[in-house]
Structure 1
C-alpha cells in the first residue's frame, strides 16, 4: 500500500494492551494533552450527570418496594403509571432537546441547567402527599432528563472518533448501571437507618439523598462542561486546543453544525440510517424492559426489603464490566461479533424466563446474565456516531428520534405485556417474556443490517469514485486515525504524518 501496511487484528496480549491505550503514542503530544483535558472535562461531568440521572430515574422502583406502595395503597398498576408519566415527557422532549444540543451557544449550558431543574423535582418527590402529585413530578423529571442520554452521545461524537469514541462511550455508559446499583444500596440504607427520622419513612429520604447528589453535579457542569467544539470554550481549553480539536474533527470527516432548518428532516428521510436505527432502538428498549425488575421477583419470593434492594445490584455490577469491556472490544474486533455474543446471552436468559419453571439457581443465573447486554446501547450509539458523522444535524435528529421512537412504545406496551398485577403480572409475564425473546432477535438482525448497508455504501462510493469517501480514507490513513471495524474489514494501521 502507498501509505501503510495491512496489519492483522491483535493477538490476546495486544488486545489487552489496546483496551488501556487511550492516548496512542503515534498521536502528537499536543493532541494527547487535549484528549486528556477532554476526558477530564467531558467524561467527569457526563459520568456524574448520567449517574445521578439514573439515580433519579430508577429511585421510584426502589421507593415502591420499600414502603411507598403500602403508604399510598398502590395495589394496581401504579408503578407502570409512574413510568408512563416519566417516559411520556421523555419522548415528547427528545428531538427538541437534541436539536438544541446541536446549537453551539446552547450546547455548553443546556445539560447543567436541566440538571438543576430535575434536581429540584427530585427533592419535591420527598414531600408528596398523594399519588397525583407524584405523577406530575415524574412527568417533570422525564421532561428535564430527556436530552441527557442521546445528547451526551452526540457530544462525545462531536469530539472523538474511531476507537477513541467507542472506549469513552463505554466508560461513560458504566454510570447507567452504577446509578441504578447505588440507588438500591441507598434505599436499603435509607430504609434501615433513616426510617422514622424527622417523622419520615425511608423511601422519602431516598429522594432527599438523590437530590443532594444532583445539585452539586449540575454546578460542576457549569464550570467544566465544554459543549461542542464550536461552543464558547471553558477556561481550561486554550485557543490552540480548540484549533487542534477542529483539525481532528475535520480529519475524521465529522461535519460541524450547520444551519438548522426543514431540509434536515428531508435529507434524513431520504437515507436508510434513521429507519434502521429507530427500529433497532425500539427493539432494544422493549427487550430490556423486564430485565430491570428482578426486585419484583425477589419481593414475590418473600425476600426481606434490604435483600430486595441489594441483590439486583449484582446485575448492574455485571453491566458495568460489560459496558466498559464490550465497547472497547468492539473498537478492536468487528462490532457485529461482539453484538452477536451479547444477543446470544440475552436470548438464553429470556428463554429461561419464558420457561419459568426452572431451578432457582438457574433463574438467578439468567437474571444476572442480562447484565451482559449492558454494552449493546453504547455500541449502537457509537455506531450511529461513526456512520452518520458526515451530517451533524442528521446525527442529532437520529439520536433524538431513536429515544422518541423507542420510548414511545415504552409508554403503552408494558401495560399490555408487563402488567404489575394480575395472573400474567410481574414477574411471571407469560406473554411478555416470549415477546422479549423476539425483540432481542430483531435487535440483533437490525444491527447486522446496519453494518451490511454501511459496507454497501462504502463499496458503492469507492467503486463510483465518491470523492468524500476517498478523501476520508486518505485523511484517516495520512493522519493515523483508526476507525472501528464496523464492517469486519481489517484496519489499516499507518505511521502518523504528524510525528
Structure 2
C-alpha cells in the first residue's frame, strides 16, 4: 500500500485499505509502541483542544453568577429573581438545540460543526458586555445556550469513539474537569477585574469579564477547526499534521479489538432502537439527579449574606469570587481521582462513594449548622456531587460499543433532562429572593441523591445479569 486512506461511498474510511507501516490483524492487535505513540498524539491534540474549549464554554456559562455579585445586580437594577431566569433562558436554548445539533454533527462531522457553534456563542458572550437591561440578558443567554448545546455530548461522543473502554473514564474526566477549572477562572477573573479594571474606559469590571471570555472562546474555536480529529472512520483532513494515516489505522484496529462500529448518521431507526435499551432509561434518569451540584451555584449568595458583628459585609467582592474556587478545586481533584481509579477497579464502588459524600453534604445544608465553617464544609462537599457524570457516561459507553448512535443519543438525552431540571427546578427550590436560607433547596436535592443511589444499585445488578447471560451463551456456543 502507499499510505493513502480510501473511503467508501458513505465517506467513511475503509479499514482494510489503510496501511502505512502499521501491522494489525482482523482482531485489532497493534504493536504496543505504535499504540502508545498514537495515544500520546491523540491525548495531546483532542484532549487539549477539548479541555480548552470546555474551560471557556463553562466560563461563558457560569460567569453570570459571579458577575451578578460583582456589580451587575446594582448596575442593571436586578432586585427580583432575574438571576434564576438568566439560567432558565440559557437552559431553554441549550435544550432546544441539543437533539437537532447532535443529528447534524453525526452527518456534518464534529471538526466543522462544533467549532462553528463555538465561534457563534463566543460572539454572543462578547455582546453581554454591552447589555443595559435584564431583557437583553435573557435573549443573549438563550442564544449562548442554543449554540453551546452540542458541545458536551459532541465531545463525549468523539472521546467514546476514539478510546477503549478501560481508557474512557479518565479521558472523560480530563475533559470534564474543565468545568471546575472554568468556574475557578471565572471567580478569579471577576475578582481581579472588580479590583483592577473596574471603571476602565467607562466599563464596569463585570463587563470586561464577558468581553475577555468571548474573545478567548472565539480564538480557541478557530484553532479547533484544525485540531479536532473528527471520527476515526471520518478523520478531519486538516488534522493530518499530527494524526497521520498510520495513526488512523491504529485507531481503526483498536476499534475492531472491542467490536466497535463506525459512527454514522443518526436515523429514525437507530433513534427509536436506542429507547429499547434497558439501561438507557436508568442512566438518563440517574444522570441529572445523581450528579447535581445545583446548591453550589448559590454558595456565593450565602457568603454575601454573612455579616460581621458591626453589620458590615464579612467578605469583599473579591472574596465572594475567590472562596468558591476552593470547592471547584475539590471537584477537580475528586473527578480525576475517582475516574482514574474507576478505570482500574470498576465504576460501581466509586458511584457508591460519591453518593455517600453527596448525601452527607446535603444533610449539612438542610441542618444549617450555626458554625459557619461547618456550613461552608457542606457547600464544599457538594462539589464532589458532579463526579458521577463521567462514571455513568463511561459505564454506558463500555456497554454500547456496537451502538455508536445510541451513545450520542444517550449523551444528548441525559444532558437535556439535566438542563430541563436546572432550567425550572431552581426557580422554586433556590429563588434568589429567599437567599440565604431556602425552604426547599437542599431537601429536594437530597431526595434526588437518595433516588439516584438506588438507581446506581439497580444498574449494577442489571449489568451483572447481562454479563452472566452472555457468559452462558458463549459457553453453550463453545460446547457446540
What is the Cα deviation at residue 345 of structure 1? 1.0
Shift, 1:415, TM fit: 1.5
Could you tell me whether the CA contact under 8 Å between 2:293 and 2:386 is conserved in 1?
Answer: no
| Cα distance in structure 1, aligned partners of 2:371 and 2:137 | 38
| Equivalent residue, structure 2, for 1:445 | 454
Note the alpha carbon deviations across 1:95-138, whole angstroms, 9 max, x for none: 222233333x4222111111111110011100112211111100
Q: Distance in 1 between matches of 2:195 and 2:207?
A: 13
Contact 2:184–2:325 (CA under 8 A) maintained in structure 1 = yes
Matching residue of 1:336: 348
Counterparts of 1:228 and 1:125 in 2: how far apart (Å)?
A: 34
Q: Is the 8 A contact 1:173 1:378 kept in 2?
A: yes
Matched with 2:53 is: 49
For the aligned residues, what is the CA RMSD?
1.8
The reply on whether 1:418 has 2:430 as its aligned counterpart is yes
The residue number in structure 1 matching 2:400 is 388
Deviation track 1:15-67 (CA, whole Å, cap 9, x = no partner) reads xxxxxxxxxxx961111111111101110110001100011000111111111
Q: Work out the CA distance in 2 between the residues paired with 1:427 and 1:339.
A: 30
Q: Which residue of 2 aligns with 1:405?
A: 417
Give the Cα separation in 1 of the matches to 2:415 and 2:72.
29
Contact 2:169 2:342 in 1 (8 A): yes
Partner of 2:473: 464
C-alpha spacing 1:294/1:27, structure 2 compared with 1 (3 Å): farther
Aligned to 1:19: none
Match of residue 30 from structure 1: 34
Secondary structure of the residue aligned to 2:432 is: coil
Contact 1:86 1:140 in 2 (8 A): yes
2:9 aligns to what? none
Q: Which residue of 2 aligns with 1:373?
A: 385
Task: Specify the alignment match of 2:286 in structure 1.
Answer: 280
- Cα distance in 2 for partners of 1:414, 1:357 equals 22
Match of 1:226 in 2: 229
- Cα deviation for residue 273 of structure 1 reads 2.5
Report the alpha carbon displacement of residue 259 of structure 1 after superposing the two structures with TM: 5.0
How many aligned residue pairs are there? Answer: 439
Distance 1:298 1:140, change over 3 A: same
TM-score by length of 1: 0.85
The offset of 1:461, in angstroms, is: 2.2
Q: Would you say the 8 A contact 1:100–1:107 is kept in 2?
A: no
1:320 and 1:374 in contact (8 A); partners too: no
1:427 aligns with 2:431: no
User: Does structure 1 residue 125 correspond to structure 2 residue 128?
Assistant: yes
Q: Distance in 1 between matches of 2:265 and 2:209?
A: 44
Distance 1:374 1:411, change over 3 A: closer
Deviation by residue 1:382-408 (Cα, 9 ceiling, x = unmatched)? 112112221011111111111112211
In the alignment, the residues of structure 2 paired with residue 123 and residue 407 of structure 1 have an alpha-carbon distance, to the nearest angstrom, of: 23
Question: Can you list the C-alpha shifts for 1:318-341, whole angstroms capped at 9, x where unaligned?
Answer: 111111111001111132111111
Deviation at 1:466, TM superposition (A): 9.0
Provide Cα deviations, 1:184-225, integer angstroms capped at 9, x if missing partner: 010011111111101111111110111122111111101111
Match of residue 445 from structure 2: 436
Shift of 1:440: 1.1
Higher alpha-carbon deviation: 187-196 or 401-410? 401-410
1:264 equivalent to 2:278? Answer: no
Counterpart mapping for 1:63-74 below 5 A: 63-74=67-78
Runs of 4+ in 1 over 3 A off after TM superposition: none
Listed as ranges, the matches of 1:4-15 within 5 Å are: none
* Residue matched to 1:474: none
1:99–1:456: structure 2 CA closer, same or farther, 3 Å change rule? Answer: farther
- Contact map agreement 2:118 2:148 (CA 8 A) in 1: yes
Asked if the contact 1:177/1:319 (under 8 Å) is kept, the reply is: yes
Partner of 1:184: 187
- Cα distance per residue 1:244-302 (max 9 Å; x no partner): 111111111222124532111321122212211111123136x4211222111011113
Q: Report whether the alignment pairs 1:351 with 2:351.
A: no
Q: Following TM superposition, by how much is the alpha carbon of 1:372 offset from its aligned partner in structure 2, in angstroms?
A: 2.4
Report the equivalent of 1:115.
Answer: 118
Counterpart-to-counterpart distance in 1, 2:116 and 2:172:
22
Question: Following the alignment from structure 1 to structure 2, what is the Cα–Cα distance between the partners of residues 261 and 170?
Answer: 29
State the partner residue of 2:140.
Answer: 137
Structure-1 separation of matches of 2:135 and 2:45:
39
Contact 1:102 1:392 in 2 (8 A): no
Q: For residue 243 of structure 1, what is the aligned residue in structure 2?
A: 249
CA contact (8 A) 1:354 1:430 kept: no
The aligned counterpart of 2:300 is 295
Q: By how many angstroms is 1:373 displaced?
A: 2.6
Alpha-carbon deviation of 1:349?
Answer: 1.0
Question: SS at the partner of 2:348?
Answer: helix
Q: Under a length normalisation based on structure 2, what TM-score does the superposition of the two structures give? A: 0.88
d(CA) in 2 for partners of 1:265, 1:86: 26
What is the 5 A alignment of 1:203-218? 203-218=206-221
- C-alpha contact 1:90 1:143 (8 A) present in aligned 2: yes
Q: Does 1 or 2 have the higher relative contact order (CA < 8 Å, sep 6+)?
A: 1
Aligned equivalent of 2:329, options 283, 308, 317: 317
Query: SS at 1:332's partner residue?
Result: helix
